[in-house]
Amino acid sequence: MVAVAQHPNIQLMTMAEVVNVDGYIGNFKVTIKKRAKYVDWDLCTGCGTCMEKCPTKKIPDAFEMEMGQTTAVRFLYPQAVPGKPFIDAEHCTKLLNGKCGVCEKVCPTKAIRYDDKDEIVTEDIGAIVMATGYDLFEWEKAYGEYGYGMYPDVVTSLHFERLSSSSGPTGGKIQRPSDGKIPDSVAFIKCVGSRDDTKGKSYCSRACCMYTAKHAYQLKDKHPDSDAYVFYMDVRATGKGYEEFYMRSQKAGAKYIRGRVSKIYPKGDKLVLKTEDTLLSKPMEVEVDMVVLATAMVPAEGAKDLAKIVGFTTDKDGFFQEAHPKLQPVETFSAGVYLAGTCQGPKDIPDTVAQASAAAVKVLGLFAKNELATEPMISEVDYNKCSGCEFCVPICPYKAISIKQLAERYHGQQINRRVADINPSLCQGCGACLPACRTTAITLKGFTDEQLVAEVDALCL
Amino acid sequence: MSIEENKEYTPKIIVFACNWCTYAAADLAGLNHLEYPASVRIIRTPCSGRMDPNLVLRAFNRGADGVLLSG
Amino acid sequence: MKRRVGVFVCECGTNIASVVDTEKVAAAAKNMPGVIFATNYKYMCSDPGQELIKNAIKEHGLQQVVVASCSPRMHEKTFRKAVEDGGLNPYMFEMANIREQNSWVHKDREEATQKAEDLVRMAVSKVLKHKPLKIATIPITKRALVIGGGIAGMQTALDIAEAGHKVLLVEKEASIGGKMSQIDKTFPTMDCAA
């Protein structure tokens, strides 16, 4: 992380979102909205006095999965990069009702800016890499049998990560959220939302088998007397060293039980899991102190809209669509736009890193050239024939067709006529616009109607 | 099969094949020496999206017995 | 555009010639409308084969070239280059696929030869409708945008930056790191995620 921030060739823009993309490969114009931080990061030294003194201290900390509390002016987390704080406008009393101003008073470099505004910038860009990642499936909305999120001790694996992290809300002690008790037993349930057509997603999220093995291992490592039960459908440990790790977790004492949990209900301060051991064909009930759900990976919030802005497609689950599942796994249908990581589909860290480097190579391959040759076998509009009906515009899968105004003289008068215009840098020469053109104004160079008809005639006669 | 058979009727099939999939698949069939009747004739198109119904009609009009559009 | 087509039928060693009578195809091509020159040769894609095309263009004043050989997905670029070297626009060229889609999938010599002739006729009639095309070039801004500062975004940004190009890394949160920064240790090595 620090390597990224310190690299002279990398410009970081945090709290920022891409709001518009124009142009084409090699020549994108990208509009970015930089959200107000209310802190001048050029002046701020990251000393943290503001966070220390901020009187609004009871905000549920989203970074800690709301298991901890934080302040209105804060670092996202203590090791944040860049190491500069921002003000949470939704909770800051100064920004909400004008009272307070403590951080401004205590800041030694006078870096606080309550009048900071969102800023829009436009950047010239040659290639775009999408790396928007994933979010966790909202199991609370789908899994009534697990309590719709009503039981505080039924958490997700990301909660468990925070609980076992030495920088987390419990300092690395695994304590259950409801009463802080170190659990005597924890149940890990895999495939919550994954591989579940009826309530969740049909796909496998690919990382859960391994991180669940890791969680069970961590529990046994930290609290050897605690029991770790893993409820699973299959164990998919297909990466290098994965099967060995899964074995290590079992050797450490994790108990693997093949079966779906059909119900979780509270009993005293315990949770009871109703399930079946399908290897023994025996229904069973297990009492535990805490339940960790390995929830499915889903595309990050807003991914679909972003795909639309940048100009490529998403698949049935909302992940970004690669140009070819085997041969072009990091390209999109938009030239100059590449994919890296879980935004393309669920994957674990090694695969993410590999794909990210692959995307970088694609960008570098493009940047190795000074100029880009465009394929000449592309569509062309005969403006004289074009009626400006716009039928071709939505048909084009590459957003290559736009409408332009053509200034013409008509009966001695100057008029503006609307015609379709094809951007030769975006057009991939598929010809989908031709059948859509009612006035045959569009031709595809190298595959004209005339040529295809000549071929048909030559073969048939 | 009898010896004095007449030449069997073999329909003339015109295939419009997308360059990126079906045409490549036809090449692959060749690479694997998979046999099919010689009366099948393939026309390469840049994409099945390029296909105009008029081209299909044209082929029938000019005596094709069957048209396969694949992409 | 003058109609002066040259047809070059490749034997591909015996890959084509064992099933297709290439000499007969070349002879038939000579009678096709627009064709003023036709020949067959052992390996059209070889150096002497390409020389044959270049010389024929100059000698016979060819305006269009048809090569009947393997799939255009294989050698279209090779022959376009040869046509260009011969002094023509590289797009005044068409291929007839008489290997992958003919000699390799048919056994009957007569039928295959007839089909090869048809495919050459198809290519000739298409090439006659070709117009010279121009390759345009566009400039490239050598600056990359990476959207998202998690593992994938950071790795991509670092790789591009290390290679010497500018990268703009846009992250919606106040820190890079993504989900990884919330993770404690990572399998299978159990090293820390920071």
| Residue with the larger pLDDT of the pair A164 and B5 | A164
pLDDT band with cut points at 50, 70 and 90 for residue A329: very high
Question: Per-residue pLDDT tens for A85-136?
Answer: 999 999 999 999 999 999 999 999 999 999 999 999 999 999 999 999 999 9
Task: Give the model's pLDDT for residue A328.
Answer: 86
CB B55 within 8 A of CB A452: yes
How many CB pairs (< 8 A) connect A and B? 60
Interface test with C, best of B14, B22, B41 (most C CBs within 10 A): B41
Instruction: Please give the CATH number for the structural domain made up of C5-127.
Output: 3.40.50
CA distance B43 to chain C (A): 9
Sheet with A263-267, side-by-side order of all strands: A263-267, A270-277, A282-288
Does the pLDDT of residue A267 top 60, yes or no? Answer: yes
pLDDT band with cut points at 50, 70 and 90 for residue C193: low
Question: Per-residue pLDDT tens for A24-71?
Answer: 899 999 999 999 999 999 999 999 999 999 999 999 999 999 999 999
- Other beta carbons less than 10 A from residue C98's beta carbon: 32
* Residue A204, SS3 per DSSP: coil
Which residues in A lie closer than 8 A to residue B14 (C-beta atoms)?
456, 459-460
CB A277 within 8 A of CB A257: yes
Does the pLDDT of residue A448 top 70, yes or no? Answer: yes
Task: Give the model's pLDDT for residue A397.
Answer: 84
pLDDT, mean of residues C102-129: 96
CA distance B32 to chain C (A): 8
Which residues in A lie closer than 8 A to residue C189 (C-beta atoms)?
241
pLDDT band with cut points at 50, 70 and 90 for residue B4: low
Q: What is the dihedral of CA A281, A213, A60, A151, to 10 degrees?
A: 10
The structure tokens listed for A174 are 């695994």
Q: Which residues contact A235 (CB under 8 A, 6 or more apart)?
A: A209, A213, A246, A256
A272 burial class (0-12, 13-18, 19+ CB within 10 angstroms)?
A: middle
A163 φψ region: left (φ > 0), alpha (ψ -120 to 50), beta (else):
alpha
Distance from C-alpha of C75 to C-alpha of A24, rounded to nearest angstrom? 29
Rounded to two decimals, the ipTM of the complex is 0.89
pLDDT, mean of residues B38-64: 93
CA distances from A237 to A46, A209, A452, C49 (A): 42, 7, 52, 54
pLDDT band with cut points at 50, 70 and 90 for residue B1: very low
Which residues in B lie closer than 8 A to residue A397 (C-beta atoms)?
49
CB B27 within 8 A of CB C100: yes
Chain C residue closest in CA terms to B36: C105
pLDDT, mean of residues A262-287: 96
CA distance A313 to chain B (A): 17
B window 8-67, beta carbon within 8 A of A: 12, 14, 41, 43, 45-47, 49-55, 58-59, 62-64
Residue A112 DSSP class: B
Chain B residue closest in CA terms to A438: B52
The structure tokens listed for B63 are 């005596």
User: What type of residue is B53?
Assistant: P
Interface test with A, best of C64, C120, C172 (most A CBs within 10 A): C172
Question: Per-residue pLDDT tens for C133-181?
Answer: 998 888 999 999 999 999 999 999 999 999 999 999 999 999 999 999 9
Distance from C-alpha of C97 to C-alpha of C115, rounded to nearest angstrom? 10
Say yes or no for a CB contact (<8 Å) between C122 and B41: yes
CB A246 within 8 A of CB A210: yes
Do you find a cis peptide bond into A325, omega within 30 degrees of 0? no
Question: Per-residue pLDDT tens for B12-29?
Answer: 999 999 998 899 899 989
Say yes or no for a CB contact (<8 Å) between C175 and A125: no
CB C187 within 8 A of CB C157: no
State pTM to two decimals: 0.76
Distance from C-alpha of C93 to C-alpha of C79, rounded to nearest angstrom? 8
The structure tokens listed for C75 are 């050698």
Say yes or no for a CB contact (<8 Å) between C73 and B23: yes
DSSP line for A158-185: HHHHHHHSTTSTTTT----TTT-PPPSE
Say yes or no for a CB contact (<8 Å) between A459 and B14: yes
Q: How far apart are the first and last CA of chain C?
A: 66
Q: Which residues contact B5 (CB under 8 A, 6 or more apart)?
A: none
| Residue with the larger pLDDT of the pair A389 and C1 | A389
Q: Which domain holds residue B23?
A: 3-70
Task: Give the model's pLDDT for residue B3.
Answer: 52
| A80 near C CB under 8 A | yes
Q: How many domains does chain B have?
A: 1
pLDDT band with cut points at 50, 70 and 90 for residue C189: confident
Distance from C-alpha of B64 to C-alpha of B58, rounded to nearest angstrom? 9
Dump strand ranges (E) for A152-307: 154-156, 185-192, 227-232, 255-258, 263-267, 270-277, 282-288, 290-295, 297-299
Which residues in B lie closer than 8 A to residue A434 (C-beta atoms)?
50, 52
Residue B7 DSSP class: P
Q: What is the dihedral of CA A296, A297, A303, A304, to 10 degrees?
A: -40
| A150 near C CB under 8 A | no
Query: What is the share, in percent, of chain C residues with pLDDT greater than 90?
Result: 89
Nearest to A444 among B50, B55, B62 (CB): B50
Q: Can you name the residues that pair with A331 across neighbouring β-strands?
A: A338
Extents of the domains making up chain C: 5-127, 143-192
Nearest to A434 among B12, B50, B64 (CB): B50
Question: Per-residue pLDDT tens for A361-410?
Answer: 999 999 999 998 888 999 999 999 999 999 999 999 888 999 999 988 88
CB A65 within 8 A of CB A29: no
